[in-house]
Amino acid sequence: MIFLLKKKTVNLFVTGIFFVGLSIGTYSFALHPNMNKWKNEQIVVTEVKTDRKAVALTFDDGPDPTNTPVLLDILKKHNVPATFFVTGIHSQEYPALVQRMALEDHEIGNHSYSHPDFNHKSNKFILNEIRKTNKIIYKLTGKQPVFFRPPGGYLSFDMVDLIRKEEMIIAYWTYQQDSKDWANTSASRIADHVIKNIKPGQIIILHDGCPNGLQTAKAVDTIIAKLSIQGYEFLTLSDLIKSADK
């Protein structure tokens, strides 16, 4: 009986955490007190206003020695450029993959050095994560990254100030285009989510650096094929922003 009660309490507790987590996630994404101001200032980007049927495919957490080459082959087959948010650690581990991304005209963004939880971390720590990764990417590609995507989408006033001073832009993603592809989701479910929610100017978030990355790569093959038929084109994030309505 005691055991049963305990189990029930634990379940309630876990459910509670889940809903709190969900609401915080939604809150920080859509209703951050400063989100709209930051978007207007173009220091944070979540989508681009355009009538042109153009979107950006973005991939986080790589490069990964298994998933990334498969994904790069698929992008090459379709002649589609994407934007990769790489971590410094993985870039050091697999430099040839970062070089291949650059050679094949993909854009490379900064996704921190070690993918930490930035909550309660000092500005010095955060700045070090950003600068160290910029240096690694520059050394491998000869290009300075423009975009920073904070791990887990962490945002704070301090972080925005830091990014502003580094003359970078925080690349978020379009809320409707988070298929949670990393969560052991099948390729067809990932593709269905993206295709069903597609609208011009969206920034689609996917993950090549997660264990489910081969499903993601397979989904990308379908996404590009089906959306191309609908008249969509795929641009790097920089080019998508340049294509925005003036």
Active site residues: 60, 207
- Whether 55 and 235 have beta carbons less than 8 Å apart is answered as yes
Q: How far is the CB of 152 from Zn ion (least distance, A)?
A: 7
Question: Which amino acid makes up residue 193?
Answer: H
Longest dimension (CA), the chain: 67
Q: Which residue, 145 or 151, is less far from Zn ion as judged by CB?
A: 151
Q: What are phi and psi of 173, to 5 degrees?
A: -145, 170
Q: How far is the CB of 77 from Zn ion (least distance, A)?
A: 26
d(CA 155, CA 43): 12
Q: How far is the CB of 92 from Zn ion (least distance, A)?
A: 17
Q: Which residue, 106 or 149, is less far from Zn ion as judged by CB?
A: 149
d(CA 64, CA 93): 9
Q: Which residue, 154 or 244, is less far from Zn ion as judged by CB?
A: 154
Q: Which residue, 126 or 227, is less far from Zn ion as judged by CB?
A: 126
Site residues (CB under 5 A) for Zn ion? Answer: 60-61, 151
Q: How far is the CB of 111 from Zn ion (least distance, A)?
A: 6
d(CA 180, CA 200): 20
- Whether 149 and 172 have beta carbons less than 8 Å apart is answered as yes
Cα dist from 70 to 28, 181, 194, 206, whole Å: 33, 16, 20, 14
Q: How far is the CB of 54 from Zn ion (least distance, A)?
A: 24
Q: Which residue, 60 or 107, is less far from Zn ion as judged by CB?
A: 60
